[in-house]
Amino acid sequence: MTEADTAEALLTGNVPVLATPRLVALCEEASCLAIEGQLPEGGTSVAKRVQFDHLVPVGVGVKVWAEATLDRIEGRRLVFSLSVSEDGGLVAAGKLVRVVVDRATFLANVR
């Protein structure tokens, strides 16, 4: 975790601790890695819903890691359990729903 990952740097607070949006981004990255190579040709996934609890503050210099476990598939919906940890224990946890879409069609509908 660096200064660039803090709430101060991301303008989401005035404390020099790991920002919640950065934690969510780490979890999204983990969810993408969990399904890498598993989507249909031309497909991608996009986040639809995030439920997230940021449990403890983490200071600059502490190493954190995110894990995403695919719990179930509901048609095009992929439901993940999320966790972020550091050596001292759990930092954050939650759920993420991603939806599988055709990449070209999705991009054609961007406003």
CB 41 within 8 A of CB 8: no
**Could you give the domains of the chain?**
3-108 (3.10.129.10)
Query: Per the structure block, which two tokens stand in for 71?
Result: 């719990």
Sequence-ordered alpha helix ranges (H) in the chain: 20-34, 103-108
Q: What is the pLDDT of residue 4?
A: 97
pLDDT band at 75 (very low <50, low <70, confident <90, very high): very high
pLDDT (tens digit, 9 = 90+) per residue, 15-61? Answer: 999 999 999 999 999 999 999 999 999 999 999 999 999 999 999 99
- Is the entire prediction scored with pTM above 0.75? yes
The mean of the pLDDT values for the chain is 97
